[in-house]
Amino acid sequence: MKYADFVKRMSEETHLDKDVVRVVLDKMPNVLMEMEIGEKVRTPLGTFFCEERPPKKVQLPNGEWSQAKKLHRVRIRPNSRMQKEIK
């Protein structure tokens, strides 16, 4: 599914204007990144949680080794509505 198709379907399901749906989807990462490390938020999509990835050693394409910076990142653990058994 393309992003435009997704926005159109969300607009149809919610009876909101496509521009409103786009704004909400665009601002969602900004709001989620305001969470503190260890904080969680439950949504119909699943549980978003904020964690810190420690610095780690990585190998560059040229074979040299470098240090990747530690990251503040938001991840999602999908709930049961976002999972489907494949038969």
Residues 19-60 have pLDDT tens digits of 999 999 999 999 999 999 999 999 988 999 999 999 999 999
Predicted pLDDT at 75: 95
User: How many CB atoms are closer than 10 A to CB 45?
Assistant: 13
Predicted pLDDT at 24: 95
SS3 74: strand
Predicted pLDDT at 32: 95
Q: What angle do CA 43, 11, 1 make, to 5 degrees?
A: 80
- The predicted-structure confidence for 50-84, as pLDDT tens digits, reads as follows 999 999 999 999 999 999 999 999 999 998 888 88
Predicted pLDDT at 11: 97
Q: If you search the block for the tokens 């549980």, which residue do you land on?
A: 47
| Residue 53 and residue 74 in contact, taking contact as beta carbons nearer than 8 Å | no
